[in-house]
Amino acid sequence: MDIVINETPAKFSEKTINKARKVLKERLSGYSIPEVLVGLEEQYGELFDLLNRNVSLGESNTCILIGPTGCGKTALLKKALKSLEEIHEDDFICVYINGLFHTSDILVRQQISRQLGQQIKGLKSDGDAFDLLKSGTTGNKSILLIIYNFDMFAKNCSQPFVYNIFNIATSKNCPISVIGITRNVNVFNELAQNILSRNSHCHIDIDRLENIDLFTEVAKLVLNLNEDVIEDREYCKLFNEKIEEMFNQESFKTIIYQIFNTSTDFIRFDKLSINSPFLLLDDLKQSVMDLSVNIERVLIGLTQTQLWLLLAVNSLFFRGWTVFNFVMVYEEYTNYMKAYVRKSGSNFRMKICKEYLAFIEFEFLQSRKLIQQINEGKFQQKYNMVKSLLLPEQIIEAVIKNPHCSSAMKDWATRGLVD
């Protein structure tokens, strides 16, 4: 049952509605700093302790945050920096580098010098960054060098340059922390052996929430308004009541489950207006439908082998496996093919894709974000555990609607036959 809004639209000002829209957009875009980090308490404590030791004790260190898109790496860092600022105020300086944009030694040097020059009084921004950091002439302030897309930074910059960055973090002249952020679980393979062996570093692993209850808790925190940011108390109260009503509806729980398996960036807040001051369930359904349309476009372009592998993923899911690896998927696929041949008679033949070719197709599914790796990649690639980012219904529908899919594929999609 959908939510019906009976309040008179003119009851709330346009300023209040616009403010609510802005707050919600900033939360989902990652621009604002979350008040609570659900499921990341341990990682937050580890990162904050590391940064706090740098500022309060002058202890230089290096740390790499590793995790998939949307897992909370940036939110974790922002929250830790905010807490650090509340305690130490102006006792540290943040310098930001992005491996996607600063793609050479020269660009990184220039960026470090420019940002330090803006934040340190009397410092010339055209000075050499390394000379400044090594000499310790930064007014005894700690420096936090934050490198987004650290894997690209390590790949594009020369190894001696990267070595110097790590080496500075061991200098006693100026307390400095190097904080890298990356989605690449194999980032340390990009670093030369002398960098890894001669410089100490730690890494913090961050995963997407695997528990639907925790994910629902995060969604509530994001969607609820508070009086600290919205002055209209009555609007906040009514808005939050409507949100609570939605979370109690089965249709909305289905939406949350769909988002949990795809993306957290789902709600179109431009729907909030003076004439429609609350989030409506129909609007949220439409947003998820739009997301599903994008996924359907990807599924339409998949090859037969890729669809076979997704059907194997579905078969594993229906038998209770929510995480799996390529070996499990390929075995499920070949077992079905052999079972189907036996069922169809001795004269029936089906060509089974060779394992090495199937693995190439499996990696393609990962590159298109249809399945996602969940461990650190310590094993051979075909043994790394992954999970599906698709709903079983999406895979079934993609096969049923595809005119090029064989009857064997459609039979597995609808009945999941495995002997």
CB atoms within 10 A of CB 218: 19
- Across the range 75-102, mean pLDDT stands at 89
pLDDT-based confidence at residue 263 (cuts at 50, 70, 90): low
Q: Give the CA distances from residue 206 to residues 65, 74, 386, in Å, rounded to whole numbers and listed in that order.
A: 7, 11, 15
Most confident of 66-75, 263-272, 307-316: 307-316
pLDDT of residue 347: 62
Q: Is the pLDDT of residue 173 over 80?
A: no
Q: What distance in Å separates the CA atoms of residue 148 and residue 116, rounded to the nearest whole number?
A: 18
Of 284 and 35, more confident: 35
pLDDT at 24: 80
DSSP code string of 200-235: --EEEE------HHHHHHHHHHHH---TTT---HHH
Report the pLDDT averaged over residues 316-326. 86
* Mean pLDDT confidence for 104-133: 72
| Close Cβ partners of 395 (under 8 Å, ≥ 6 residues apart) | 299, 307, 310, 311, 313, 314, 413
Average pLDDT of the residues of the chain: 78
Please state the length of the chain. Answer: 419
pLDDT computed for residue 268 by the predictor: 45
Question: Does position 170 have pLDDT exceeding 80, yes or no?
Answer: no
> Which one is the CATH code of 41-205: 1.20.1050.140, 3.40.50.300, 3.40.1400.10, 1.10.1790.20?
3.40.50.300
Say which residue, 375 or 350, is predicted with more confidence. Answer: 350
Residue 84: band (very low, low, confident or very high) from pLDDT cuts 50, 70, 90: very high
Whether 316 and 328 have beta carbons less than 8 Å apart is answered as yes
Q: Is the pLDDT of residue 81 over 90?
A: yes
Local confidence band at 267 (pLDDT 50, 70, 90 cut-offs) = low
296 vs 146, more confident: 146
CA distance 120 to 112: 12
Work out the end-to-end distance of the chain between its first and last CA atoms, rounded to an integer number of angstroms: 41
Instruction: Report whether pLDDT(144) > 50.
Output: yes
Contact 377, 185 (CB under 8 A): yes
Can you give the pLDDT at residue 276? 52
- For residues 162 and 153, the answer to whether their CB atoms sit within 8 Å is yes
Q: What is the pLDDT of residues 27-47, one digit of tens each?
A: 776 677 777 788 888 999 999
Least confident of 159-163, 307-311, 397-401: 159-163
pTM here? Answer: 0.62
pLDDT more than 70, % of the chain: 78
249: buried, middle or exposed (CB in 10 Å: 19+, 13-18, 0-12)? middle
pLDDT value for 176: 87
Q: What is the CATH number of domain 301-415?
A: 1.10.10.10
